[in-house]
């Protein structure tokens, strides 16, 4: 986990937001990190879409 969003501030000059993140770790002290590939991403996306479809059908 990288952290949690502490504050959301709209940027008045654009249509974007500025997110202030409270980090879960002290990134100055990190010496090693791992990048993980999510091998189940396709299945997760399909399940989320199927769930959304079922919710819409019940409305």
What predicted TM-score, i.e. pTM, was given to this entire model?
Answer: 0.44
The reported pLDDT for the residue numbered 9 is 94
Length of the chain: 59
Tell me the β-bridge partners of 8.
19
Domain that holds residue 22: 3-58
Three-state SS string over 16-31 comes to: CEEEEEEECCCCCCCC
Total domain count, the chain: 1
CB 21 within 8 A of CB 6: yes
SS3 of 9, please? strand
Render pLDDT for 17-59 as a digit per residue (tens, 0 to 9): 999 999 998 988 888 888 888 999 999 999 999 999 999 998 8
4 CB-contact burial (10 Å; exposed 0-12 / middle 13-18 / buried 19+): exposed
């Amino acid at each position: 986990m990288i952290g949690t969003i502490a504050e959301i501030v709209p940027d008045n000059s654009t249509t974007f937001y500025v997110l202030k993140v409270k980090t879960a770790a002290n990134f100055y002290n990190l010496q090693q990190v791992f990048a993980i590939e999510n091998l189940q991403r396709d299945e997760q996306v399909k399940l989320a879409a199927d769930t959304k479809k079922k919710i819409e059908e019940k409305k």
